[in-house]
Amino acid sequence: MKNCILALICILSLSSQAQERPKLVVGIVVDQMKMEYLYRFYNDFSEGGFKRLVNKGYTFHNMHYNYVPTYTAPGHATIYTGATPNIHGIVGNEWFHRTLGKTVYCTDDDGVKTIGSTAEVDLKNPMSPKNLQATTITDELRLSTNFKGKVIGMSLKDRGAILPAGHFANWAFWFSKNGDFISSTFYGDKLPDWVTKFNAEKHYL
């Protein structure tokens, strides 16, 4: 009898370990979108879009940030690290750095270079997650899969792509002033071919 119970425990243990992992996980953050908008504009959404998220996803109805101010960059960092600004280090979109004696932007990094743009404003402002002082859920995904899982951050704003993607992302892409997706040498020496092709097609026109 004991052997049967032990065998059953082993089978159940193996069964739980063999659960199929999802092949794709998509995280979406919409700046300044209140929870109530999902219901106020419900009839305007498509079946495969927000309606699917509302009907088949897990919803938190009464969430609050326990810090102020709730700027964009701290919000992204808080959502993806599960920590507050005093822990993850992103206390604003920009802040005064006492050691450096100057104001710094949340994703500033003079140790990297911008790739994918020749615009002076982009070249003068290279970006990376250097200022983020905690790991993100995307970092933990990379670690838990021994870096086999891929993480890509994309956003119109640099901070919206870089901070959620974390320290170990394969890539982060954001819009330049001329409407192309750009990145930095933190992720690679040049843009992937598919990004270069997408930029050349000028989808924003």
Positions marked active-site: 72
In sequence order, what are the beta bridge partners of 155? 174
- Tokens 């305007």 found at: 44
Instruction: State the amino acid at position 133 in one-letter form.
Output: Q
* Cβ(134)–Cβ(87) below 8 Å: yes
Token pair recorded at residue 98: 């006492």
Residue 1 CA to residue 3 CA, distance in Å, equals: 5
Please, is 24 exposed, middle or buried when counting C-beta atoms within 10 Å of its C-beta (0-12, 13-18, 19+)? exposed
The full length of the chain comes to: 205
Nearest to 182 by CA among 106, 124, 103: 124
